């Protein structure tokens, strides 16, 4: 039996349906990724799983327990790392971790030991006495994680834990999450950074506008778009360039799945069986755009998202 | 629960703005208001000897004993002299001639006090103050009969003099503005604690820690209560500092009796707990800066209650202010040693606290965070 079963989950805020009949399962010891743009419904789904928010329809089972009936038992299993840093500025790192762990019934030496271990785990063992206001963004993020894991939860829910952190801290956080999984914890991880999800998640669900549009392992998901390749044309788009007209023209070509324009790169997703590279290049030349480089790439989650929704992930 | 209380205390004490706003600011106010305004209350001339004739026409034995006890206690060998008289007319002549300051006649059942005032304004005020204290303790009816013809005309033409006399909040015997503000500043501190209440959950929301608290496997009612109780050590600390500093540093007087002082402390603690709970419930339901709503209301109520100036008294409005009633109860206790109003305050506040606790606990446990 899966460790987590989310079945036909619906959550509405007034007229807005934040989560619209989402279903998925998570196995024990798995890192499960929820991928989607901002406002897709990832955080709302997590809030339901963590018992923070009630839901309108559906069923959520965690470790064989119904979330509505066994709320307090389920709470005991969960460790939450919220999207926004949730720590007290006037308590030092150790006091923060110790306080949150104490809410889970830890006392005495066990409480102190676990708090120290959690700080060590996130690489803050030498910053125990430091108050968060004197910490960098990355250190705060790591402390945020330590506060959510000090009580050794079986299920760790992480809502975009790497937002706004430097590369070094991000690497540390991602490695820590893998380590938590190796220790036996089940992790639900949300992000809108595709690379992160690809790197650490065993399975991924892609959510958009409250609906689940795909779910599976990375190869399974990518296989859904194996007939698509991405073409990157490095150029320089001048100020005042009519981007809309250019995009419309490209989209009229056969086999075009999506197009994205940045200042120096034009990315076009095209069907492999209807190779339109030549026509795309010709169009770029027609628009008098300089071509500095051309390259193609095999599909990834970003391609999948663009293909399924017609929009970029970020 | 202990962990939460400890956390709240640390969080409070390490926030410098809190330390200033809740610990230093009230003490400074006591100092400033007490010292600056006490100069306004100082006599510009010496009172001198105050000779009073008194006559006892009351028949109730208990009343007579009370009067004699009072007279003997108030008379001192320095400047207040009470002499018993049986000849009212002769004493009136002495008042008119300025030989004595006034005549006080204790008469009737229930006890009524008639004061035949002399021509010296300062001495009249002194005697009024003394007799007013007695009448408040014994609930006697004061009737001031002026022997000064001009005063009699004033009394006849204007009802205001009696009204003012009866309704004016008296400082009691040998009490100063500093003593007055020592009490009202505790009252102010108590009601300012509504901010602690409103910020209690708003702070958690701003820190985003409310999410962690809400998903923690502890009883939400217990959590709500712990959050509120966690604020109490700060309140105890604030009031202790305020009372101690105002007594030891500025020489303010509360009650001469230690038990009464402790009882006063307890009353304000109960009041503060209630205020915090009301604030917490407001903060629970009003998510966008509830202090913006609560603070102006509290400040206006304090103003109308005479917290900032004892001269502020709007008939029909001031008496309806809870802050005024609480201050009156405190004065009743420290000046006259009466417990009735203090007990009433404690009972009413306890009842409100219980209701707020139930509303807050239910609201907190049922309310989701988005």
**B247-278 pLDDT, tens per residue?**
887 777 787 778 888 999 999 999 999 998 99
The domain A4-222: what is its CATH number?
A: 3.40.50.300
Residue of chain B whose Cα is closest to the Cα of A100 = B212
Residue B64 has pLDDT above 50, yes or no: yes
Domain ranges (residues) in chain B: 2-37+176-366, 50-167
Cβ density class A249-280: b for 16+ within 10 Å, e for less: ebeeeebbbbbbbeeebbbbbbbeeeebeebb
Residue B220 to residue B362: CA distance in whole angstroms: 9
Task: Give me the CATH topology for the region A227-298.
Answer: Alpha-Beta Plaits (3.30.70)
Q: How distant is the Cα of A183 from the closest Cα of chain B, in angstroms?
A: 22
List, for residues B209-238, the tens digit of each pLDDT value.
888 888 888 887 788 888 888 888 888 888
pLDDT at B213: 85
Window 168-207 of B, Cβ < 8 Å to A: 207
Task: Give me the CATH topology for the region B50-167.
Answer: abc type-2 transporter like fold (3.40.1710)
Give me the sheet containing A4-13, strands edge to edge.
Answer: A16-26, A4-13, A57-62, A65-66
Give the ranges where A185-242 is alpha helix by DSSP (H).
Answer: 194-200, 218-223
- Whose tokens are 């990375």? That residue is A218
**Contacts of A83 by beta carbon, 8 Å cutoff, 6+ apart:** A43, A159, A160, A161, A163, A190
- How do beta strands B50-56 and B80-84 pair? parallel
Cβ of A85 and B216 within 8 Å? no
Q: Do domains A4-222 and A227-298 have the same CATH topology?
A: no
Residue B179 has pLDDT above 80, yes or no: no
Please compute the mean of the pLDDT values over residues B340-351 and round it to a whole number. Answer: 93
To the nearest 10°, report the CA torsion of A299, A301, A307, A309.
-170
List, for residues A51-71, the tens digit of each pLDDT value.
888 889 999 999 889 988 888
Q: How confident is the model at residue B342 (pLDDT cuts 50, 70, 90)?
A: very high
Q: How confident is the model at residue B40 (pLDDT cuts 50, 70, 90)?
A: low
Q: Which two tokens stand for residue B46?
A: 């010496």
pLDDT at B41: 53
Give chain B's mean pLDDT. 77
How far are the Cα atoms of A83, A150, A221, A276 from residue B211, in angstroms, in the given order?
10, 16, 33, 51
Please compute the mean of the pLDDT values over residues A136-143 and round it to a whole number. Answer: 85
Residue of chain A whose Cα is closest to the Cα of B226 = A103
> Which chain A positions have a beta carbon within 8 Å of B15's beta carbon?
90
Contact with chain A for residue B16, Cβ under 8 A: no
The DSSP output letter for B19 is I
Q: Which two tokens stand for residue B270?
A: 């109960």
Write the Ramachandran bin of B108: left for phi over 0, alpha for psi from -120 to 50, otherwise beta.
Answer: left
Residue A199 has pLDDT above 50, yes or no: yes
Residue A214 has pLDDT above 60, yes or no: yes
| Closest CB from B11, B218, B369 relative to A52 | B369
Residue B3 to residue B10: CA distance in whole angstroms: 11
| ipTM metric | 0.74
The radius of gyration of chain A from alpha carbons, rounded to an integer in Å, stands at 22
Residue A143 has pLDDT above 70, yes or no: yes
Distance from CA of residue B347 to its chain's centroid? 17
Determine which of B215, B222, B365 to mutate to test the interface with A (most A C-beta atoms within 10 Å).
B215
Nearest of A183, A152, A143 to residue A31 by alpha carbon: A183
Domain ranges (residues) in chain A: 4-222, 227-298
Window 112-171 of A, Cβ < 8 Å to B: 147-148
Residue B203 to residue B212: CA distance in whole angstroms: 13
> Which chain A positions have a beta carbon within 8 Å of B10's beta carbon?
90-91, 95
Q: CB–CB of B294/B279 below 8 Å?
A: yes
Determine which of A14, A41, A80, A99 to mutate to test the interface with B (most B C-beta atoms within 10 Å).
A99
Contact with chain B for residue A88, Cβ under 8 A: yes
Residue B140 has pLDDT above 70, yes or no: no
Nearest 5 degrees, angle CA B162-CA B164-CA B169?
130
> Which chain B positions have a beta carbon within 8 Å of A104's beta carbon?
216-217
> For A215-219, B15-19, B163-167, which range has the lowest pLDDT when averaged over its residues?
B163-167
Q: Between B48 and A44, where is the model more confident?
A: A44
Tell me the count of A-B CB pairs closer than 8 A: 70
Residue B223 to residue B215: CA distance in whole angstroms: 11
Give me the percent of chain A exceeding a pLDDT of 90: 5
Residue of chain B whose Cα is closest to the Cα of A53 = B368
Contact with chain B for residue A89, Cβ under 8 A: yes
């Amino acid at each position: 039996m899966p460790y987590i079963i989310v079945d036909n989950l619906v959550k509405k805020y007034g007229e807005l349906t934040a989560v619209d009949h989402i279903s998925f399962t998570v196995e024990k010891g798995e890192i499960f990724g929820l991928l989607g743009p901002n406002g897709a419904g990832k955080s709302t789904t997590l809030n339901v799983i963590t018992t923070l928010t009630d839901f309108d329809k559906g069923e959520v089972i965690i470790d064989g327990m119904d979330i509505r009936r066994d709320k307090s038992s389920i709470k005991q299993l969960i460790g939450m790392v919220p999207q926004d840093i949730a720590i007290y500025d006037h308590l030092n790192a150790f006091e923060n971790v110790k306080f949150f762990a104490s809410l889970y019934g830890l006392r005495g030496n066990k409480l102190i030991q676990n708090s120290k271990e959690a700080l060590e785990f996130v690489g803050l063992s030498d910053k125990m006495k430091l108050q968060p206001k004197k910490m960098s963004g990355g250190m705060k993020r790591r402390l945020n994680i330590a506060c959510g894991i000090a009580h050794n939860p079986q299920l760790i829910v992480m809502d975009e834990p790497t937002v706004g952190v430097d590369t070094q801290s991000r690497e540390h956080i991602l490695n820590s999450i893998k380590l938590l999984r190796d220790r036996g914890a089940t992790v639900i991880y949300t992000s809108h950074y595709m690379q992160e999800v690809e790197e650490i998640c065993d399975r991924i669900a892609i959510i958009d506008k409250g609906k689940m549009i795909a779910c599976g392992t990375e190869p399974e998901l990518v296989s859904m778009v194996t007939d698509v390749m991405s073409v990157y044309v490095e150029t320089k788009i001048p100020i005042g360039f009519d981007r809309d007209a250019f995009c419309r023209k490209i989209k009229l070509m056969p086999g075009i799945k999506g197009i994205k324009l940045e200042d120096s790169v034009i990315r076009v997703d095209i069907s492999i069986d209807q190779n339109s590279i030549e026509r795309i290049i010709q169009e770029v030349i027609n628009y008098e755009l300089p071509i500095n480089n051309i390259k193609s790439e095999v599909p990834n989650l970003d391609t999948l998202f663009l293909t399924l929704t017609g929009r970029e992930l970020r | 629960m202990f962990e939460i209380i400890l956390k709240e205390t640390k969080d409070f004490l390490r926030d410098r703005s809190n330390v200033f706003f809740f610990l230093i600011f009230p003490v400074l106010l006591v100092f400033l208001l007490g010292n600056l305004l006490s100069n306004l209350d100082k006599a510009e001339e010496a009172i001198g000897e105050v000779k009073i004739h008194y006559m006892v026409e009351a028949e109730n034995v208990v009343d007579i004993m009370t009067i004699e006890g009072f007279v003997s206690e108030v008379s001192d060998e320095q400047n207040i002299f009470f002499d018993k008289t049986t000849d009212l007319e002769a004493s009136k002549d002495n008042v008119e001639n300025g030989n004595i300051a006034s005549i006080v006649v204790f008469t009737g059942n229930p006890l009524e006090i008639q004061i035949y005032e002399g021509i010296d304004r300062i001495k009249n005020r002194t005697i009024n103050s003394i007799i007013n204290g007695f009448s408040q303790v014994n609930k006697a009816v004061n009737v001031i009969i002026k022997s000064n013809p001009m005063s009699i005309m004033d009394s006849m033409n204007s009802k205001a003099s009696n009204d003012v006399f009866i309704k004016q909040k008296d400082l009691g015997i040998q009490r100063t503005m500093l003593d007055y503000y020592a009490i009202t500043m505790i009252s102010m501190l108590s009601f300012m604690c509504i901010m602690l209440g409103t910020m209690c959950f708003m702070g958690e929301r701003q820190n985003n820690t409310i999410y962690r608290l809400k998903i923690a496997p502890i009883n939400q009612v217990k959590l709500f209560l712990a959050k509120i109780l966690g604020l109490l050590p700060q309140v105890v600390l604030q009031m202790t500092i305020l009372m101690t500093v105002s007594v030891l540093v500025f020489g303010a007087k509360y009650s001469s009796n230690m038990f009464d002082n402790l009882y006063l402390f307890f009353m304000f603690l109960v009041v503060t707990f209630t205020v915090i709970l009301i604030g917490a419930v407001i903060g629970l339901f009003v998510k966008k800066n509830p202090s913006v709503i609560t603070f102006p209301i509290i400040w206006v109520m304090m103003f109308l209650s005479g917290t900032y100036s004892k001269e502020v008294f709007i008939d029909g409005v001031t008496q309806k202010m809870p802050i005024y009633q609480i201050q009156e109860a405190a004065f009743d206790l420290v000046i006259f040693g009466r417990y009735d109003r203090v007990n009433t305050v404690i009972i009413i506040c306890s009842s409100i606290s219980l209701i707020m606790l139930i509303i807050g606990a239910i609201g907190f446990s049922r309310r989701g965070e988005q």
